Chains A and B, each alone.
Chain A
Amino acid sequence: MSIEPAGCRDSGYNFAYLNEQTKKMIRRALLKAVAIPGYQVPFASREMPMPYGWGTGGVQVTASILTPEDVLKVIDQGADDTTNAVSIRKFFRRTAGVATTEATAQATVIQTRHRIPERALGPDQILVYQVPIPEPLRFLEPRETETRKMHAFEDYGLMHVKLYEDISQHGHIATTYAYPVKVEGRYVMDPSPTPKFDNPKMDNCAALQLFGAGREKRIYALPPFTSVVSLDFEDHPFQVQAWEHPCELCGARDSYLDEVIIDDKGGRMFVCSDTDYCASRRMAASEAAE
């Protein structure tokens, strides 16, 4: 795993595309977000050269925190080579000229959509999430004026009722991704549409976690070592997904697996969604074999 060194950037744009006024505004929102973990801070989100819903929030956060010395990693669905991750990484290579990498351990800033890397993050790393709908209560109450009050009054009864109804109707909490969490015993927060498998990694994480929702104009954050608890009931404790098989490429039993259909006769295989985790395990195995 190597680092693609910093290159020259397109001088037609300010460093990392956004002008300094805008970065300052976003950094202020970030500071507020870090000071009130899990609270959604409104910010004057800008139009970016990629569509709303394609990571504009994450891109604005990354653009505001990036320094020329940073090493950037971008993943989508856990993989560095999915099309949108490629596109965002190219955007920052062009506008910021920063070094990029696919190796989780080498990155200082990781922008992600839908996954948290399997490898534990360290105190010198920042994880930036792309968030489509930042409001965990949105599908229970569509009005912002209402949900804002519910957060202010810490009125999360509706969410517990929803989870309870899931259990009474399906025998399970039927939320498998974007599974709501409570932050430092105060705000209920949307972890972005990561599978609930990743929720435990958010808790007490050594890295700073920043969440950007561009279209909805909200930023929120988890400072390092913040308590993040997935909502559950005493008799229905929170559980993560488990697979019957290990990854068919690297043999991992502790990672989140993607299902790949390999023929039209029902054949399928399960492989790590985190491509860097899978590749480094395979490399370690082949080195050990030599």
Chain B
Amino acid sequence: MYVAVKGGERAIDNAHRLLAEKRRGNRSLADITPEQISEQLALGVDRVMSEGSLYDRGLAALAIKQARGDMIEAVFLVRASRTTLARFGYSVAIDTGAMEISRRISATFKDLPGGQVLGPTFDYTHRLLDCGLETDSSPEPAAMAPVSDEATPHVLGLLDKQGLIEPASSGGAQAESEPGDMTRDPLSFPVDRDVRLQMLARGDEGFLLALGYSTQRGYARNHPFAGEIRVGMVEVCFVPEELGFAVCIGDIEITECEMVNQFKGSKSAPPQFTRGYGISFGHCERKAMSMAQVDRALRAGELDEDRTAPAQDEEFVLSHCDNVQATGFVEHLKLPHYVDFQSELELVRRMRREQGADRQEAAE
């Protein structure tokens, strides 16, 4: 008999109660706290803050718990919360040159002012499952170098001094004006590098990783070198209108990647290296590196390169890099579509009927 979808409301409520129960899992185990997530699943929290474009460890950790570890769902929760926040203004641009470094490596120079600092990294670990972590782990305290007051200038700045690399620029007509704001102004193609970088910074790590990877395999090859990757704390300062001078309001952890890429030079420019830039909240090295590769690829137009590959296609990359948008639209296919499907059914049946009639006529 005809079963109407009445009772949708009760079904939804029950489904959400079941979700809450599944989230809690086996009640004989301790409930995980956002603090534990923030401390022990810190890189996940960093990713959610980056792609959620909100620097708040507590909220990101809570979102991960609420999302049962589904990172894109957690990013989505953070973004929706971000919408409700009032906008006070823009901070002063952070100075990553003044970063309190916890990791800093360069693949282009063996040694350099400020030195190479490995910091906490998976690099060079052997990926062997560590059964010791199954039970309480209390690792030996790590040896710490004394905090150095030696300046740590940007590697690309050192190249710039010798004129070997192009100067950093937003690559647009209004290169020197205020940067745009992709969260306040709807996107209108073509966009300048400032807005592109904003979109890539909150873009999906997996999507950017695949695109960056594609540039290394010949789809818009541009010979990247990891000029520098640095991770550490930077100060955020804000100029309240009524004061007129900058006040520092806190420190945030940032990962910055500057890629050095080849460039043959053109009629107007001598051969010199070019830049690709990546940045993220927290420690998201893979994301920052991929972002830098894609940024460089997207500069094809500006550098008079042929646009042949997906990673160079601004509309393609920017329209599809946001995982909250992507997951929403892909998953909306779960919603009922029976009205539209009914109209397709009706047409297909009618066309089949007519075709059957045609065949009969031809046979007669």
Contacts and interface: CB of A to CB of B under 8 A. Distances in A.
B324 A47 contact: yes
Interface in B151-168: none
Contacts of A11: none
Nearest to A274: B339
B78 to A, nearest CB: 9
Contacts of A275: 4
Interface string A66-90: 0000000000111101111111001
A248 B329 CA distance: 34
Interface in A21-36: 21-22
Nearest to B315: A143
A151 B338 CA distance: 31
B186 interface: yes
Query: Main SS of chain A's interface residues?
Result: loop
A83 B12 contact: yes
B245 interface: no
A9 to B, nearest CB: 14
A177 B340 contact: yes
B131 to A, nearest CB: 39
B179 interface: no
A14 B84 CA distance: 8
A217 B335 contact: no
Contact of B186 (A86, A217, A241, A243): A217
Contacts, number: 153
A47 to B, nearest CB: 4
B80 interface: yes
Sort chain B's interface into a size bin: 35 or more
Nearest to A45: B186
Given A18-B83, A145-B315, A52 B339 contact: no
B248 to A, nearest CB: 26
B332 A132 contact: yes
B343 interface: yes
Interface string B57-91: 00000000000000000001001101110110000
Interface string B333-364: 00111111011111100110010000000000
Nearest to A78: B339
Contact of A83 (B4, B8, B319, B331): B8
B5 interface: yes
B120 interface: no
A260 B315 contact: no
B102 interface: no
Nearest to B345: A259
A171 interface: yes
A49 B80 contact: yes
A257 B342 contact: yes
B147 interface: no
A170 interface: yes
Interface residues of A, number: 69
A98 B351 CA distance: 47
Contacts of A215: 325, 328-329
B127 interface: no
A199 B342 CA distance: 16
A114 interface: yes
Query: Main SS of chain B's interface residues?
Result: helix
Contacts of A143: 189, 315
A48 B80 contact: yes
Contact of A44 (B184, B190, B343, B345): B184
A54 interface: yes
B327 interface: yes
A18 B83 CA distance: 7
Nearest to B185: A44
A51 B76 CA distance: 8
B1 interface: yes
B329 A132 contact: yes
A38 interface: no
Contacts of A54: 328, 332, 335
B83 to A, nearest CB: 4
Given A47-B76, A51-B331, A132-B329, A259 B83 contact: no
A122 interface: no
Nearest to A79: B5
Contacts of A249: 2
Contacts of B329: 52-53, 132, 215
A238 interface: no
Contact of A197 (B4, B185, B315, B343): B343
B9 A52 contact: no
23 contacts: A14-B84, A43-B186, A47-B76, A49-B83, A51-B328, A56-B328, A77-B338, A82-B5, A82-B336, A85-B8, A86-B8, A90-B9, A143-B189, A176-B343, A176-B346, A177-B344, A217-B187, A248-B2, A256-B342, A258-B338, A258-B342, A262-B2, A275-B4
3 closest residue pairs by CB, A with B: A52-B328, A53-B332, A51-B328
Interface of A: 13-14, 17-19, 21-22, 42-49, 51-54, 56, 76-79, 81-87, 90, 113-115, 132, 142-145, 170-172, 174, 176-178, 193-197, 215, 217-218, 241, 243, 248-249, 256-260, 262, 269, 271, 273, 275
Given A54-B332, A196-B343, A218-B186, 15 more contacts: A42-B188, A46-B83, A51-B324, A51-B327, A76-B335, A77-B337, A81-B4, A83-B11, A85-B8, A90-B9, A143-B315, A172-B351, A195-B340, A243-B346, A273-B338
